[in-house]
Amino acid sequence: MRILYSFNKKGYEAECWSREIAAASTSGVAFVPFNHSEYIDPQRMTDAVKLDRLHRDRDPALLGLYRAVEDRIRAERIDVLLVANCPPYHPDFLRNLGVYKVLFSADDPEATYRINIPYLHAYHHVLFVDPAYSADLDMVDKMRYAGMVNADWVPISVFDFECDAAKNEGDVLAQQRDIDVVYVGSFWRQKIDTLMHVSRALGRRFRLHGYFRLKHNLYLNVVHRYGGWVSPLSFQDRVAIYQRSKIGFNVHWNEFGLGNQRLYHLPANGVMQISDCADHLGHIFAVDREIVGYRGTDDLIDKLRYYLDRDHDRRAIAAAGYRRVMADYRFQTVSRRAADLIRAGMERIGWSKALTA
């Protein structure tokens, strides 16, 4: 089986994605990287309505992408198109594409109505990163309700460049960690109150990094009196910061939004993780052994202080989380598991390439 893995990334990150996608190949499955952001800016189609407008207007960049992906499918004898990262393929284009089509839906459930459900009729299979959806439905139930027969949970996972795969377990866990608490992430308004409460409670024991623009930093300092400047990190620097950190905490979009990259990055770098979405953490990690959950900002701050004072317990949880990620959630492992799910999906609906010829 040959899978064209369509994604959008830039620069160093794109190089790493391409390399690690290809390296996930086995004797039974070939992963072929295809960076669709080389043809069109993903910011032009961040939801289904924007993409529909581009398609109706016969946008030259979009049509160029479609010609390129068709050429690659023919040249590489592709069986499966796996689409991740802001899908650029309009359903009317996919309708006549004679391959098994898989949507890898990220940022669930916030993006479900923008870049998931509007496209489901054009795909044979959906892979989603968040096991939960709402108080009434999990994501499998929601996808089935929306008409998708083949719906499977696949974690975002961690790439080798997002940790330090060259180090062994002993090296990662034994190194000196001079940062007590860390958070690395972009500016999201609904997360700021939590970040600022932690900052006020822990002071210099807390390090905050991420992609914060000038206006975001001004907002922190004028409205919240932060007294500092949040600076971005390169991918290499993020690994270095994580590997100096004792505890990292996680904040998701909402209580049903479990599954961001930070969930895997922290333990992959030997950082003990305290995360929200407490009701759903057990789907991915062993709670209180590989990860600790919190409910509300006060509970988070209490647990940060508790584990900073109990270094033995912190180290044990960090070690268990690291082992779980290295065993189950590295990109190659997850991609090969996804290939097995895709095969099962093909069999479930009786799909074969001959039927589309």
String of DSSP letters for 316-333: HHHHHHHHHHHHH-BHHH
Joined tokens for residue 295: 């409910």
| pLDDT, position 354 | 56
Nearest to 5 by CA among 120, 82, 114: 82
**Strand partners of residue 32:** 4
Looking at residue 348, its pLDDT comes to: 95
- Closest-CA residue to 89 (of 119, 134, 57, 117): 119
Give the CATH architecture of domain 160-328.
Answer: 3-Layer(aba) Sandwich (3.40)
Check residue 113 and give its pLDDT. Answer: 84
What confidence score (pLDDT) does residue 109 get? Answer: 74
Q: How far is CA 173 from CA 157, 237, 271, in A?
A: 20, 18, 9
Other beta carbons within 10 angstroms of residue 29's beta carbon come to 19
Residue 293 has a pLDDT of 98
Parts of the chain belonging to CATH 3.40.50.2000: 160-328
Tell me the CATH architecture of domain 2-157+330-356: 3-Layer(aba) Sandwich (3.40)
3-state helix, strand, coil in the chain (%, to 5): 50, 15, 35
Cα–Cα nearest to 13, from 42, 53, 48 = 42
Write out the chain's pLDDT in tens, 357 residues. 999 999 999 999 999 999 999 999 999 999 999 999 999 999 999 999 999 999 999 999 999 999 999 999 999 999 999 999 889 999 999 999 999 999 999 777 778 888 899 999 999 999 999 999 999 999 999 999 999 999 999 999 999 999 999 999 999 999 999 999 999 999 988 899 999 999 999 999 999 999 999 999 999 999 999 999 999 999 999 999 999 999 999 999 889 989 999 999 999 999 999 999 999 999 999 999 999 999 999 999 999 999 999 999 999 999 999 999 999 999 999 999 999 999 999 999 999 875 664
Residues 6+ apart with CB under 8 A from 170: none
